[in-house]
Structure 1
Amino acid sequence: MFRRISQFCKQLFEDNQRPTETTPAGLSLEVVARKHHAISRKQISENATKVLYRLHKAGFKAYLVGGGVRDILLGLEPKDFDVVTDATPEQIKKLFRNCRLVGRRFRLAHIVFGRDVIEVATLRGHHVDSGEKVSKTNAEGRLLRDNVYGTIDEDAERRDFTVNALYYDISDFSIHSYGGGLQDLDSRTLRLIGDPQKRYREDPVRMLRAVRFSTKLDMHIDPAAAEPIYELAPLLQDIPAARMYEEVLKLFFNGHALNNYELMREFGLFEPLFPLVEAVLRDDPNGPAAKMIKAIMRNTDQRVAEDKAVTPAFFYAAMLWYPLSQRADDIALESGLTTYDAFYAAMGDVMEQQCRSISIPRRFSTPAKDIWQLQLRFERNQGTRAFKFIEHPKFRAAYDLLLLRAEAEGGHTAKSAAWWRSFVEGSDEQRSVIARSTKTSKSRNNRRRRSPKKTNKPAQE
């Protein structure tokens, strides 16, 4: 599934002669010289290397940190190369004309090279004696503002997992490993730095990151890091909906959607993100909705593996189909509206409620509604109308959703999907035959019966 760490790195982990230090907070530190590790500058992106060297030449400390170092050691190709430095955001901006400062909770510098963006953060410090202008938490302990700067040791103590507390020093090409990060890489253990309760309260999204790293890196979550998640999962409800949108993309569009979904449900992390879907699953654990969601996850993973496009519009349309259907039934029952009108009213309700936990951009929510609307047209557009229907821009996405529904529901939906499959996959000649036969069959079934002629019976005398 993925390549094991090289034998050269394995010898590094087995070497008991490496000097170990301790940070003031008691976190272990190992500094591994260049000759004892396998990371080469050739494995780091050219743009990240430029940023590292310019910061170093300007007299600042600069390190490649986190996933970039971790993935290289695991034999994976990093998606991002993040840099940390002791330069402040303002000092970074002066060094790079192609720099823009972003972030409110923690100020970051983005160095832009065309489509490639190198994220540069200032080394973080602790919150002791820091003013509210640079640091602030809420009553639950969640960090609202985090612009506190410090040293590399303090920054490592602020990292979430030990496997992310790995720093590649551009000044001497050494690796700084904190908290036993290298050993945890070798043992496939995902371990939090610090007290898990406190760390999750500081940023509840770390619970989602634990799930994501566990499936992505094929690691088991350390029991001490896993235990508090069951209790603290509801804290995700306090995370801004815009941030949750980005987290969902990372969870379900990285090729491990099914594993992430199952692990999230086990920990209780799915409900804060998709409360409407969870309610349907709770009412019918083995019903069509449960089958549909697993089919969505498998389908998404397969498309990612085949390097095909995946779109949030289809993903959310499929995820929310059964909450939508249930809401439409409730509206029809309560108001007496027709099925069609009730369905349209339900679309707005369901999308609005979902956006309270995950802010779905309009460029995706509007196409998702289009896909929903087309589900009502599959029955009415069989026959000769099908030729015009398949030309609709959203037909293919709506058709794919129909196939998923057929897999989950069977019965009448499966029959409808079978007709459309034969029509879509048929040649032009076959389509004409299918359309004509359907039209003839419908006309026969819908033909009105003529009432018997009235006869004037003679009045009885």
Structure 2
Amino acid sequence: MLYRLREAGFGAYLVGGAVRDLLVAGNPKDFDVATDATPEQIKNLFRNCRLIGRRFRLAHVVFGREIIEVATFRANTDDGTGDREVENGMLVRDNVYGSIEDDAIRRDFTCNALYYAIEDFSVRDYTGGFEDVQAGIMRLIGEPEQRYREDPVRMLRAVRLAAKLGFTIEPATAAPIPQLAHLLGDAAPARLFEEMLKLFLSGHAVASFEGLEQHGLFAELFPESAAALRTNRSGALRRVIVEGLANTDTRVAAGEPVSPAFLFALLLWPAYCRAMARLQKQGMPAEEAVRLAADVATADQLERIALPRRFSLPMQEIWLMQMRFASRQKRRVFRTLSHPRFRAAFDFLLLRQAASGEHGQDVVFWQQAREQSGRELEASLESSAGSRGDLPVTAEGARRAPRRRRGSPAGSADPAAAE
């Protein structure tokens, strides 16, 4: 692509994240090209090209499953001939074209403003990005507050890239973030959902979470969860999140899939526990509170981040199944084991056990239950029920507490009570 553009008389460079990642010995997954050719000129050169975007007019050149994104050099200033629109300080359309120097200055971070030139195999640097990459520094180009106001999502990008690269956010770049975090409320909820996937499903979830907390962004994105974490004296709710995100990083590193439903079940677990406690304090029966809290926590979050139903419904099932793990009734046990969310819900129970140590008996029982044949499990449950109600003797030989009366959920009414 670079050579074809150059042979057609245009300047063309590999730009941004690919150059940055190669300089830090990374393996780029995406390749972006910057050129002085307009989107229409690019389309004329490549039959496998489609033009996309309203805010930023871009060309996507498709090679099988690979997409190379090609952007025309953009300028910061508009002489009236370009296509730029600003609403309340935010850029809603920015298609003003310029030179490579103009393009470098309007990029977000210095480490993303590096251009690889094929004519002499050099890296072109107009903002000091090469030195910042060598020093491991994230630095905004331009006046930080103004740049964040133009696009508040840049605050999330700063945290994400710092976590991914192991960089430090330069003090002047970091300073305005806590005071401007509220601007994320103006970002499109659907865009924030995509940013959450980038933050937490790219193999650096723990570092991203810690960065969001450090810079006051987590409370803006997940206000109910943040409030619950602040009041959870034992710290177990936070440990559930960190343990789960660490497991997510391990799975990503191993090339294993991670479900957004499980991710949001982690991030919103404190909010769910908080909603349930609040409903029960108002006098709502525990079984009803368990279910309503899931809807409340989800609805509250949807005001900030657009969570599609294909993820929110499985997320709620993971939460609700936590209440079923203390039941030893034969019918409920078999129903739980056959539930399509059993594996995810059990993995979530393991995280709760790692965080608080209060669910060991449930973990042992369900580990054994899923390894037994149907007949073996049925015989075990009938034997245990005959010796004492419907609750079996645990692997450690200690009997569980008597079954709660109808009207209370199996196990603790508050899943965070012991956490």
TM value normalised by structure 1 = 0.79
Tell me the residue number matched to 1:424: 370
Query: Aligned with 1:69: secondary structure?
Result: helix
SS of residue in 1 equivalent to 2:9: coil
2:389 is paired with a residue of what secondary structure?
Answer: helix
CA offsets per residue over residues 231-252 of structure 1, 9 Å max, x none? 2222222111111111111111
In structure 2, distance between residues paired with 1:356 and 1:90: 38
Structure 2: distance between partners of 1:111 and 1:345: 47
Q: Is the 8 A contact 1:105 1:146 kept in 2?
A: yes
| Alignment partner, residue 96 of structure 1 | 46
CA contact (8 A) 2:39 2:51 kept: yes
Deviations 1:311-360 (A, max 9, x none): 111111222223223213333443x5432233322222221221221111
CA change 1:184–1:325 in 2 (3 A) is: closer
Determine the structure 2 residue equivalent to 1:316: 264
Q: Decide whether the 8 Å contact of 1:214 with 1:221 is kept in 2.
A: yes
Partners of 2:78 and 2:96 within 8 A in 1: no
Amino acid at match of 1:357: R
Deviation at 1:285, TM superposition (A): 5.2
1:351-405 CA deviation, whole Å, 9 max, x = no partner?
A: 1221221111222112212222322322335546434421221110111112222
Name the aligned partner's letter for residue 128 of structure 2: G
1:73 maps to 23
Q: What CA deviation, in whole Å up to 9, does each residue of 1:155-193 have, x standing for no partner?
A: 000111211111112344332112222222222222221
Q: Distance in 1 between matches of 2:78 and 2:108?
A: 19
d(CA) in 2 for partners of 1:237 and 1:120? 30
Partners of 1:147 and 1:439 in 2: how far apart? 71
Work out which of the residue numbers 398, 402, 408 in structure 1 matches 2:349. Answer: 402
Q: Tell me if structure 2 keeps the 8 A contact 1:423–1:434.
A: no
CA contact (8 A) 1:136 1:144 kept: yes
SS in 1 for 2:369: helix
**Residue 380 of structure 1: aligned partner:** 327
Aligned counterpart in structure 1 of residue 306 of structure 2, from 354, 359, 383: 359
CA contact (8 A) 1:407 1:414 kept: no
CA positional deviation for 1:432: 5.2
Gapped runs of 5+ residues in structure 1? Answer: 1-50, 449-461
Does residue 148 in structure 1 map to residue 96 in structure 2?
yes
TM-score, with length taken from structure 2? 0.86
Partner SS, residue 5 of structure 2: helix
Tell me if the contact between 1:258 and 1:297 (Cα under 8 Å) persists in the aligned partners: yes
Q: What's the counterpart of residue 224 of structure 1?
A: 172
Aligned length: 393
Partners in 1 of 2:37 and 2:387 — Cα distance?
A: 76
Bigger radius of gyration: 1
- RMSD across aligned C-alpha pairs, in angstroms? 2.4
- Kindly report which structure 2 residues correspond to 1:90-129, keeping only aligned pairs within 5 A, or say none: 90-129=40-79
1:350 matched residue in structure 2 = 297
The separation in 1 between residues aligned to 2:146 and 2:188, in whole angstroms, is 20
Match of 1:136 in 2: 85
Provide structure 2 residue ranges, at least 5 long, that are not aligned to the other structure.
391-401, 406-419
Equivalents in 2 of 1:300, 1:247: separation in Å? 16
Quick one: distance in 1 between partners of 2:309 and 2:49? Answer: 29
8 Å contact from structure 2 (residues 22, 28) kept in 1? yes
CA distance in 2, matches of 1:122, 1:346: 49
Provide the residue aligned with 1:31 in structure 2: none
Q: Which amino acid aligns with 1:420?
A: W
Q: What SS does the corresponding residue of 1:443 show, helix, strand or coil?
A: coil
Q: How far apart are 1:200 and its partner, in Å?
A: 1.6
SS in 2 for 1:77: coil
Cα displacement (A) at 1:55: 2.2
